[in-house]
């Protein structure tokens, strides 16, 4: 991935205002013009001028451009709208006396938050990894003398001395000699490339330039002198670090559809919970506690119809244990059924599934058929029942399950119908998303 980001970064070397850490110059300009624009010469800078530039451009270090509180980021993951829905389900389970289910829901919330939080920290880890590519010391020529200075003190206009085994501390233009350079950190190339001060051909991108070397790359052969034109976050390595922190991944049409259907399923669950609650209190005559339990969904639908009430034991050896296993099976099967409806719903963003064709994607049909057969086997084949701790479902429960994918798909079909009736913007996605069996 670094070499892909580097390709994007090179397109902006000389466009717009130069970032901190580099004057606005053309690294592929004639060497005499480049030295003039950098305000330096082949003998290097004076120590006083180097200090002045260090104060102006800052230290040559890869830094994080954006910092956020880790605690705030973790709290954001725990307070996500869908996480709030699960928190509500956990609270209802705890209120009904089913602590095991409440703990299981909380565990799911925490696991999901931990995974999302780990993804948010990838940018920080990427920056730290890039910082390790810079060496601690660099050899320069200052006041007409060779000296070794901390790499953080390099400034634009410094003349650096390079030899086999040296790792580059900044982006520089060769002014004398030639090198073999391992540029795998930037371009992904496995073989070293030759860079020579004698090269005069201008290239389309800076990374292809035959007389320019970059921070983080390794000299595998040769000797040369080069003038630094970019340091810190203005180097190609620094631009990669900045992009990894700033760029957010674009949401694909398929991801957008999946997100919409996820919200749709959540809305259906809330609506079904409200209906179950009022049905339990008005039609079934359940107490308030039992009605709250009933509102959680299919899990308690099975338990309540088996005669369960809050605080009744459901462990092994109790009369309600089989109903408990059926309830967990119903919960798992309900998730599978909803996902089958979602698989059809996410195929298009505006067009009706009738226009797309229910049977037009054979890969999806094979995937749904396999999932259905595997679910049936887990529920009804005795050896698999013992492995997955499932129990056979009754016909009335299968009828309820059959409604789940229809409700999910039908609700999304209504949403698309409404979207087609409303005035649309200039961008449309009428075609189905061809994502195989996704």
**What is the distance between the alpha carbons of residues 265 and 81, in angstroms, rounded to a whole number?**
13
Residues 225 and 373 in one domain: no
Token couple for 301: 């639908």
Token couple for 52: 């002045």
Prediction pTM value? 0.47
Q: Which residue range(s) make up the domain with 271?
A: 252-421
Q: Report the CATH number at residue 139.
A: 2.70.150.10
- Does the residue 364 lie in any domain? yes
Residues 308 and 216 in one domain: no
Q: How far is CA 77 from the centre of its chain?
A: 14
Residues 234 and 161 in one domain: yes
- Does the residue 226 lie in any domain? yes
Residues 171 and 33 in one domain: yes
Per-residue pLDDT band at 290 (split at 50, 70, 90): very low
pLDDT at 394 over 80: yes
- Does the residue 432 lie in any domain? no
Exposure letters 29-67 (e unless 16+ CB within 10 A, then b): bebeebbebbebeeebbeeebbeebbeebbebebeeeee
Is residue 237 within 8 A of residue 131, CB to CB? The reply is no
Q: What is the pLDDT of residue 283?
A: 52
In this structure, of 2-16, 198-212, 264-278, the range with the lowest mean pLDDT score is 2-16
Considering only residues 90 and 246, tell me which one the structure prediction assigns the higher pLDDT.
Answer: 90
Phi-psi region of 122 (alpha: psi -120 to 50; beta: other; left: phi over 0): alpha
Residues 283 and 168 in one domain: no
E strand or H helix that includes residue 330? helix 321-345
E strand or H helix that includes residue 274? helix 253-278
188, 217, 244 — which closes off a domain? Answer: 244
Q: Is 294 exposed, middle or buried (0-12, 13-18, 19+ CB in 10 A)?
A: buried
In this structure, of 146-155, 282-291, 324-333, 407-416, the range with the lowest mean pLDDT score is 282-291
Is residue 340 within 8 A of residue 371, CB to CB? The reply is yes
Chain segment 180-229, per-residue pLDDT in tens: 999 887 887 778 899 998 887 888 888 888 899 999 889 999 999 999 99
Q: Is the dihedral of CA 410, 411, 416, 421 positive or negative?
A: positive
Q: What is the pLDDT of residue 224?
A: 93
pLDDT at 235 over 90: no
Q: Report the CATH number at residue 333.
A: 1.20.1110.10
User: Residue for token digits 């869908």?
Assistant: 82
Residues 270 and 413 in one domain: yes
Question: What does the pLDDT average to over 405-419?
Answer: 78
pLDDT at 88 over 60: yes
Chain segment 313-362, per-residue pLDDT in tens: 777 778 888 887 888 788 778 777 877 777 777 777 777 777 777 777 88
Coil, strand, or helix at residue 415?
helix
Q: What is the pLDDT of residue 438?
A: 34
Coil, strand, or helix at residue 34?
helix
**What is the distance between the alpha carbons of residues 287 and 399, in angstroms, rounded to a whole number?**
26
- Does the residue 301 lie in any domain? yes
Sequence-ordered alpha helix ranges (H) in 46-98: 47-57, 70-78, 81-95
Is residue 408 within 8 A of residue 345, CB to CB? The reply is yes
Question: What does the pLDDT average to over 56-81?
Answer: 75
Per-residue pLDDT band at 124 (split at 50, 70, 90): low
Considering only residues 385 and 304, tell me which one the structure prediction assigns the higher pLDDT.
Answer: 385
- Does the residue 36 lie in any domain? yes
- Does the residue 438 lie in any domain? no
Reference 152, options 134, 175, 166; nearest CA is 134
Residues 156 and 185 in one domain: yes
Half-sphere exposure of 111 (CA within 13 A, CB side): 6
Q: Is the dihedral of CA 55, 166, 236, 207 positive or negative?
A: positive
Q: What is the pLDDT of residue 17?
A: 40
Token couple for 96: 């009904």
Q: What is the pLDDT of residue 5?
A: 38
Question: What does the pLDDT average to over 403-407?
Answer: 81
Considering only residues 18 and 42, tell me which one the structure prediction assigns the higher pLDDT.
Answer: 42
Chain segment 144-184, per-residue pLDDT in tens: 889 999 998 999 999 999 999 899 989 999 999 999 999 88
- Does the residue 411 lie in any domain? yes
193, 218, 244 — which closes off a domain? Answer: 244
**Mean pLDDT, the chain, integer:** 75
Residues 40 and 156 in one domain: yes
- What share of the chain in percent tops pLDDT 70? 68
Q: What is the pLDDT of residue 262?
A: 62
Residues 320 and 206 in one domain: no
Domain count, the chain: 2
244, 264, 294 — which closes off a domain? Answer: 244
Token couple for 311: 């605080």
**What is the distance between the alpha carbons of residues 9 and 252, in angstroms, rounded to a whole number?**
23
Residues 225 and 147 in one domain: yes
Residues 53 and 151 in one domain: yes
- Does the residue 141 lie in any domain? yes
pLDDT at 274 over 70: no
What's the Cα-to-Cα distance from 320 to each of 38, 214, 383, rounded to whole Å? 82, 70, 22
Residues 238 and 290 in one domain: no
């Amino acid at each position: 991935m670094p070499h892909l980001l580097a390709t994007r970064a090179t397109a902006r070397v000389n466009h717009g205002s130069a970032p901190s850490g580099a004057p606005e110059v053309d690294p592929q300009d004639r060497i005499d013009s480049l030295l003039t624009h950098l305000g330096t010469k082949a003998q290097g800078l004076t120590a006083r001028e180097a200090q002045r530039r260090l104060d102006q451009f800052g230290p040559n270090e890869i830094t994080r451009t954006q910092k956020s509180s880790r605690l705030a980021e973790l709290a954001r993951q725990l307070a996500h709208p869908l996480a709030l829905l699960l928190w509500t389900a956990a609270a209802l389970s705890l209120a009904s006396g089913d602590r095991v289910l409440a703990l299981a829901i909380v565990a799911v919330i925490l696991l999901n938050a931990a995974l999302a939080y780990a993804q948010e920290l990838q940018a920080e880890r990427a920056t730290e990894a890039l910082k390790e590519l810079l060496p601690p010391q660099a050899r320069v020529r200052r006041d007409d003398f060779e000296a070794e200075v901390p790499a953080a003190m390099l400034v634009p206009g410094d003349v650096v001395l390079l030899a086999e085994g040296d790792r580059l501390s900044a982006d520089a233009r060769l002014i004398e000699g030639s090198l073999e350079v391992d540029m795998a950190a930037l371009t992904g190339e496995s073989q070293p490339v030759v860079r020579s001060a004698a090269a005069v051909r201008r290239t389309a991108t800076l990374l292809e330039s035959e007389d320019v070397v970059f921070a983080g790359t390794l000299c595998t052969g040769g000797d040369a002198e080069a003038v630094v034109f970019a340091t810190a976050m203005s180097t190609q390595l620094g631009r990669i670090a900045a992009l990894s922190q700033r760029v957010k991944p674009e949401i694909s049409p398929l991801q957008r559809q999946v997100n919409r259907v996820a919200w749709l399923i959540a809305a259906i669950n809330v609506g079904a919970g409200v209906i179950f609650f009022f049905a339990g209190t008005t039609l079934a005559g359940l107490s308030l506690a039992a009605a709250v339990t009933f509102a959680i969904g299919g899990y308690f639908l099975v338990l309540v119809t088996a005669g369960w009430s809050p605080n009744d034991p459901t462990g092994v050896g109790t009369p309600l244990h089989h109903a408990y296993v059926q309830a967990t099976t119903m919960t798992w099967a309900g998730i599978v059924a909803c996902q089958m409806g979602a698989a059809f719903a996410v195929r298009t963003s505006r067009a009706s599934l009738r226009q797309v064709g229910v049977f037009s994607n054979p890969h999806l049909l094979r995937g749904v058929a396999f999932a259905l057969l595997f679910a049936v086997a887990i529920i009804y084949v005795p050896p698999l029942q013992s492995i997955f701790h499932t129990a056979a479902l009754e016909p009335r429960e299968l009828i309820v399950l059959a409604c789940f994918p229809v409700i999910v798909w039908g609700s999304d079909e209504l949403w698309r119908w409404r979207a087609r009736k409303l005035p649309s913007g200039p961008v449309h996605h009428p075609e189905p998303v061809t994502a195989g069996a996704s």
